[in-house]
Structure 1
Amino acid sequence: MARSRIDAQPGFWARVVFATGAVISAALLFAGLAEARPRKALSPGAARSRQVSQQQGPPPGYTPPPDRGTPPSTHTTGSRGSCFRHSDRPPLAALVGQGHLSWTISDRPTIWIYNPYTQAEAVKAELVLQAESGDRELYRGTFPLGQAPGIQGIPWPAALAPTEVGQVYRWYVDISCEGMAGAGGLASGSGAGASVPASLTGLVERVSGPPGLGGADQAGAGLGAIARYGQSHLWYDMVTALAQLRLASPGEPELARLWRELLGDEANVGLGFLAEAVLLGEVGAD
């Protein structure tokens, strides 16, 4: 049988094989370059937003513990102190859950307050801790005032023993402005200085937490742990953990939104008037 013209052409199949190999090599080289091409880095804000959005768990929300009696007010209470109320700022207020005793699983919980008074407007800020049973005083000391009004955390004093499970503690915060009544900007809504007590009180009970959930004083918590704090009535741990996240990422809009929603929960928290207040962070007690 006669050979075909193609078969008769010397080197034809060699050229076909070479061309095919060249095409395959080029395709593989292009794919390798595409894989090796560096991806555009996310901005710090976008990276934090992705990290927050990828955290597992339901959105944080607070469920108060069972009501055991008349709770302390979240607003200014007591009769000690001599500070004036600012007409353009919220009053001295405790960041505690609405209408109920607040719980913690932390050995050393942080007490959060909104303090409208600065170093230029007050002379002393004092923390007092008592055992609720018998009103026995456990601690009395001062803590520093900020250079600006805002939300500040007062850690459990290092000189005081850790909290004990089953124990209820009452705390007091007193701001003294004695001798500083002439400070500028202090006025009532009518324009004349009106003295109001600068004193707060609150309750915290140490309880046993759910298995596998540590207190906010032990390690940084993600949104999943924060949601579990809220579901387990652990206000002090919840607000501390969320505040720590916000302080670590002050420009993160998702964390700011969650903070506003938590404080603005009128049924369970009732602190919407502080949702936009500056978060100053924690200060040490003497």
Structure 2
Amino acid sequence: MPLIKNKFAFRYLHLGTALSIILCSFYIWTIPSLATRVVFKPPGDRVPRTSAGGASRGPTCEINSSNSSQENVTPILPRSNIGLTVAEHPTIFIYIPKTKAKTAFFSFEDANGNNIYQGHFNLPQQTGIMQIKLPSSVPQLKAEQKYKWSLAMICTADLEPDSPFISGWIRRVSVSHNSQTLHTNLDSVANLAASSLWYDAISTLAQLRQSQPNNPALVTVWQDLLNSVGLNAIANEPLIN
């Protein structure tokens, strides 16, 4: 009898050890480690944040320049309203609230106001943070040059002079700025953020979230990153594919 009890005890010991390993693995997967904490370092660049129009159209198509809230279209940018990138065709992120607008007009120009790209696109049916990827047909951004993008909400049949709009800026830096960080993992996101490469950091993190939609650790890192640049009001909003 003592031998049988020992066998059962041995089996339970192995079972307990296996469960401990599984739980530890789950904990590591869900909780970001201190080594991969993402802290954004703002660049020295700063440009005015521009938004206008739509005040008479009602709250569902209004852009309020006085604050950033869940009721307003909001550029996903640091307070400086400019972000750095090493990408030739970066991805731009914009929060779209509940709105009666079905389409939007997007334009992209250089620092001298020369038009590079423009086009209409359908707005998502749900509220959340959408992505606008510059198409490959657009000439690649030049290093150490600034570019301005704008998004206008089309609240009536056509784009009008007083249509509400927002804008943001991009400055492309040399690839050698921090080329070793161009990988899709959380350590890369941390390095990109620490190097002030906002567009690359948030784009890489968005790719991670889309490839691992059930990973709560990535959601936490995303929220922390947006909170760090004052976007607390929309940090919990869904990322729209």
- TM category (shorter chain) comes to 0.7 to 0.9
How far did 1:117 drift? 4.2
Query: What do the CA deviations read for 1:122-172 (whole angstroms, capped 9, x no partner)?
Result: 24212100011x210001112231121110010012321222211211000
- Return the match for 2:164 from 198, 202, 209: 198
Alignment map for 1:135-150 (pairs within 5 Å): 135-150=113-128
Match of 2:197 among 217, 234, 240: 234
Distance 1:166 1:273 in 2: 32
Q: Does 1:128 align with 2:110?
A: no
In structure 2, what is the equivalent of residue 193 of structure 1?
none
1:71 is the counterpart of 2:48 = yes
Contact 1:90 1:273 in 2 (8 A): no
Q: 1:55 to 1:105 in 2, by over 3 A?
A: farther
Distance across 1 between alignment mates of 2:25 and 2:106 = 39
* Offset, 1:199: 0.9
- Determine the C-alpha separation between the residues in 1 that align with 2:134 and 2:172: 13
Structure 2: runs of 5+ lacking an equivalent: 1-9, 63-68
Offset at residue 61 of structure 1 (A): 1.0
Q: Which letter does structure 2 place at the counterpart of 1:147?
A: Q
What RMSD, in angstroms, separates the aligned Cα atoms of the two structures?
3.5
Equivalent position SS for 1:153: strand
Q: Is the 8 A contact 2:48 2:81 kept in 1?
A: yes
Tell me if the contact between 1:72 and 1:203 (Cα under 8 Å) persists in the aligned partners.
Answer: no
Q: Percent identity?
A: 25
Q: Distance in 1 between matches of 2:80 and 2:141?
A: 22
The answer as to 2:199 corresponding to 1:250 is: no
Aligned pairs for 1:55-204 within 5 A: 57-67=35-45, 69-73=46-50, 77-79=51-53, 84-86=58-60, 89-117=70-98, 121-132=100-111, 134-179=112-157, 198-204=164-170
Name the CA shift for 1:211/1:256 in 2 (closer, same or farther; >3 Å). closer
Distance 1:91 1:49 in 2: 36
Distance 1:142 1:254, change over 3 A: same
Cα distance change of structure 1 residues 82 and 206 upon mapping to structure 2, 3 Å threshold: farther
**Alpha-carbon distance in 2 for matches of 1:172, 1:159:** 18
Match of 2:66 in 1: none
CA 1:236–1:102: 2 relative to 1, 3 Å? same
Tell me which of 209, 212, 223 is aligned to 1:260: 223
Q: State the TM-score, normalized to the length of structure 2.
A: 0.76
Task: Return the letter of the residue paired with 1:71.
Answer: P
Aligned 8 A contact 2:38 2:225 in 1: yes
Aligned to 2:180, the other structure's residue is in SS state: coil
Question: What TM-score comes out, normalization by structure 1 length?
Answer: 0.65
* Cα deviation digits, residues 199-232 of structure 1 (max 9, x gap): 1100000002214222xxxx5233x111111111
Structure 1 position 56, deviation (Å) = 8.2
Q: What is the rounded CA distance, in whole Å, between the counterparts of 2:32 and 2:38 in structure 1? A: 14
CA distance in 2, matches of 1:173, 1:157: 16
1:153-194 per-residue CA deviation (whole Å, 9 max, x = no partner) reads: 1001232122221121100011101059xxxxxxxxxxxxxx
Letter in 2 for 1:280: I
Structure 1 pair 48–90 and aligned structure 2 pair: CA distance change class (3 A): farther
Deviations 1:210-264 (A, max 9, x none): 14222xxxx5233x11111111111111111112222222332222222222211
Contact 2:104 2:120 in 1 (8 A): yes
Helix, strand or coil at the partner of 1:245: helix
Kindly indicate which of the two structures has a greater share of residues assigned to helix: 2
Distance 1:126 1:169, change over 3 A: same
Q: 1:250 to 1:104 in 2, by over 3 A?
A: same
